[in-house]
A and B are shown apart, each in its own frame.
Chain A
Amino acid sequence: MSQLRFTKDHEWVRVEGTTATVGITEFAQGQLGDVVFVEVPTKGKALNAGGEAAVVESVKAASEVYAPVSGSVTEGNAALPDAPDTVNKDPQGAGWFFKMTISNPSELDALMDQAAYDKFVADAS
C-alpha cells in the first residue's frame, strides 16, 4: 500500500515501503506554466532532505525540485528530458521526476498529507 505526502515546495512523494517516487504537484505545474526543460538526477546520487535534486524550467523561469527526504536516487525518469511537457500533462503520473530510497523514514512525518496540502494550497492562493 502506498501513501502520498507533500512538501511546502509543492513536491509530491509516493511512499511504497522504503522507496519513494517524487514529482511536482498539479498546483506547481500550473504555477510554472509550460515546462520546456527538465534535468533529473542519476542513479546513485545521494540526496539530503530539502537539498536540490532536479531542475524544471518553464519558458520564463528555472526552478529547483528539492528532495523531500534523505536517501539515494534509484532511477531518474529518463523520458522527461525529451518530453518535458509530460510534467504539465500528467504531473502526478507519467511526469514523475525520480525514485529514491528512504534512509530516515521519520522525515516523512514532517510532510503533509493530501488534506493538509490541499489546505496549504488554498491558503496560498
Chain B
Amino acid sequence: MADPAGADLKTTPLNALHILLGGKMVPFAGYSMPVQYPLGVLKEHLHTRAHAGLFDVSHMGQAELTGDDVIGALESLIPGDLKGLAAGRIRYSTLLTETGGIIDDLMITKPAEPGSEKKLFLIVNAGCKEGDFDHILRRLGSRIKLTRFEDRALLALQGPSAAKVLVRFAAGCDAMAFMSSRVAKFALASGHDVDVRLFRSGYTGEDGYEISIPGDRAEAVANALLAQPEIQPIGLGARDSLRLEAGLCLYGSDIDTTTTPVEANLSWIIGKRRKLEGGFPGANKIIEQINMGAQKMRVGIQPIGKAPARAHTEILDEIGKTIGEITSGGFGPSVNKPVAMGYIQTAFATPGTKVQLMVRGQTLPAEVVALPFAPHRYFKSKS
C-alpha cells in the first residue's frame, strides 16, 4: 500500500518498526505516526488498562535548559513552583501568554544527577514545539541556553504491568516515585546497555514510564519491550481515548491560548508561592480568577444515552440556551460508554447538573460529572 501520509512528513526513529508492525500511518503534527495497529483502537485501549502498551511519542519535543538561574528564568514563563521542586522530580505546567492563556502544556524535570544543578529537562507537545522553543528563546535567550534533542526518541510504556516489565531491563525502576525521573541503563539481551532517561509519568491515567532514548537505539529498546508477553504496540487513537477517560487535556482541543489554567480546571498547577508572589505571565488575571471564579470551566460531560458527542458539540441548559461546548468527546472503551469534556458557564459546572447536547440536530440528555471517567491508578510509593 502506498504511504498515505505523504512525502513532506517527518518520521520518528521507529518509523520502519511501525510499518513492520502493520501500523496504520497518518499525518499528525507534521509527522507520519501510527493511529492504530492491527489490534485496533478498542483492543489497544483495553490492553493498555489490563496489561501495558508501548507508545511512540518521539514526535514530542525534548530539550534541556541550562543557566545559572534556570529555575528563576523558566518560572517567569509558567505558574508552577520550580524552586520548590525537588531534584529528580517532574512538574506538569503550562507556558502562558500575557493574558494567562495556555501556549502549551509541558513536563519540566529537575534532574538529580551530579552536574545537572543548573539544568531543566523539558518535554513539550509535538505540534507546539517550534513555537514553544522560539518563545522560550525570545523571552529567556539572554539567561539560558536551550539544547534541543531532535535525535532522541521518546517511548511511553503505560499500564499496570509497566513496572514489572521495565524492571527486567532497568534495575530498580519499579521503586521510582510517581512524577520522578532519573537516568538509567536499559540492558539489552545482547549485553549492550543503552543510556536512557526514565520518567515515571504518562498520559493514560495508568502507572507507567516515558523513556527518552538516543534515536539510533530506540528500535532495539522498543523491540526488547515488545518481545515481553504483556506488551502490545499502541497507536495515537487509543492514546487519545485513554487520556480522555483519564480526564487529561489535549492541547489544541481542551486548552489553548483562549483558556487559562483556572478555566481549564488546572488551578492545582499554580504553586502556592506563585499565587502569593505572582511574577508569571497573566498573573493578575489568573489570581483574580482563583479568588473570584472564572466565567467558564472545563468539566466532564457524561452523555446519558449511547451516542458519543464529539468536539464542538454545543452544550445547552435544560431550557435550550447555549451554555458551553464539548472540546473532546468520544467513546470510552474501559467505561464502555460515551465520554466527553468541555467548557461550560461556571454556574452550570457543578457535578450532577443536567444539560443537553446538540448532536446531529437533536438534543440528547447529559450530565456534568467529575473527572476522570476512569480512576487514575498512578504508582504510590510504599514509604
* Chain A residues close to B by CB (< 8 Å): 33-34, 36-37, 39, 55, 57-62, 81, 125
- Please tell me if the beta carbons of B308 and A33 are within 8 angstroms of each other in the complex: no
Most B-side CB within 10 Å, residue of A33, A34, A62:
A34
Shortest Cβ gap from A64 to chain B (Å): 9
Complex formed: what's the CA distance from A36 to B40 in Å? 12
B contact residues around A37 at 8 Å (CB): 306-308, 331, 338
Complex formed: what's the CA distance from A81 to B306 in Å? 9
Complex formed: what's the CA distance from A57 to B41 in Å? 13
- CB within 8 Å of A: which B302-330 residues: 306-308, 310, 330
- Please tell me if the beta carbons of A33 and B237 are within 8 angstroms of each other in the complex: yes
Look across to chain A and name the residue whose beta carbon is closest to the beta carbon of B35.
A60
Of A39, A57, A60, the contact of B240 (CB 8 Å cutoff):
A60
Look across to chain A and name the residue whose beta carbon is closest to the beta carbon of B236.
A60
Of A34, A62, A81, the contact of B308 (CB 8 Å cutoff):
A62
**Given A34-B43, A37-B308, 20 more contacts at CB 8 Å?**
A33-B36, A34-B41, A36-B42, A36-B308, A36-B331, A36-B333, A37-B306, A37-B338, A55-B307, A57-B308, A59-B42, A59-B241, A59-B330, A59-B331, A60-B41, A60-B237, A60-B240, A60-B330, A62-B310, A125-B1
Complex formed: what's the CA distance from A36 to B306 in Å? 9
A contact residues around B237 at 8 Å (CB): 33, 59-60
Shortest Cβ gap from A87 to chain B (Å): 13
Q: Mark B270-311, 1 if CB is under 8 A from A, else 0.
A: 000000000000000000000000000000000000111010
Shortest Cβ gap from A108 to chain B (Å): 28
Of A34, A62, A125, the contact of B40 (CB 8 Å cutoff):
A34
Of B40, B238, B331, the contact of A57 (CB 8 Å cutoff):
B331
Complex formed: what's the CA distance from A36 to B337 in Å? 9
Of B1, B2, B4, B42, the contact of A34 (CB 8 Å cutoff):
B42
Q: Does B45 contact A (CB under 8 A)?
A: yes
Shortest Cβ gap from A115 to chain B (Å): 21
A contact residues around B380 at 8 Å (CB): none
- Please tell me if the beta carbons of B310 and A59 are within 8 angstroms of each other in the complex: no
Complex formed: what's the CA distance from A34 to B237 in Å? 11
Interface residue tally on B, bucketed by range? 20 to 34
A contact residues around B35 at 8 Å (CB): 60
- Please tell me if the beta carbons of A39 and B42 are within 8 angstroms of each other in the complex: no
B contact residues around A39 at 8 Å (CB): 307
Rank and list the top 3 A-B pairs by shortest CB-CB distance, nearest first.
A34-B42, A36-B331, A59-B41
Q: Mark B1-44, 1 if CB is under 8 A from A, else 0.
A: 11010000000000000000000000000000001100011110
B contact residues around A62 at 8 Å (CB): 308, 310
User: Could you give 7 example pairs across A and B, Cβ below 8 Å?
Assistant: A33-B42, A36-B333, A59-B41, A59-B330, A60-B330, A61-B310, A62-B310
- CB within 8 Å of A: which B335-361 residues: 338, 360
Shortest Cβ gap from B3 to chain A (Å): 11
A contact residues around B333 at 8 Å (CB): 36, 59
B contact residues around A61 at 8 Å (CB): 310
B contact residues around A58 at 8 Å (CB): 41, 331
Of A57, A59, A81, A125, the contact of B45 (CB 8 Å cutoff):
A59
B contact residues around A34 at 8 Å (CB): 40-43
Look across to chain A and name the residue whose beta carbon is closest to the beta carbon of B330.
A59
Complex formed: what's the CA distance from A125 to B307 in Å? 30
Complex formed: what's the CA distance from A57 to B303 in Å? 15
Most A-side CB within 10 Å, residue of B43, B310, B331, B338:
B331
Shortest Cβ gap from B123 to chain A (Å): 25
A contact residues around B40 at 8 Å (CB): 33-34
Q: Mark B356-378, 1 if CB is under 8 A from A, else 0.
A: 00001000000000000000000
Complex formed: what's the CA distance from A61 to B360 in Å? 14
Shortest Cβ gap from B182 to chain A (Å): 35
- Please tell me if the beta carbons of B2 and A33 are within 8 angstroms of each other in the complex: no
Look across to chain B and name the residue whose beta carbon is closest to the beta carbon of A64.
B360
Complex formed: what's the CA distance from A55 to B241 in Å? 20
- Please tell me if the beta carbons of B306 and A55 are within 8 angstroms of each other in the complex: no
Most B-side CB within 10 Å, residue of A36, A57, A61, A62:
A36
- CB within 8 Å of A: which B194-240 residues: 237-238, 240
Complex formed: what's the CA distance from A18 to B298 in Å? 52
Complex formed: what's the CA distance from A125 to B308 in Å? 29
A contact residues around B331 at 8 Å (CB): 36-37, 57-59
B contact residues around A33 at 8 Å (CB): 36, 40-42, 237
Complex formed: what's the CA distance from A60 to B360 in Å? 17
Shortest Cβ gap from A76 to chain B (Å): 15
Shortest Cβ gap from A30 to chain B (Å): 9
Shortest Cβ gap from B327 to chain A (Å): 16
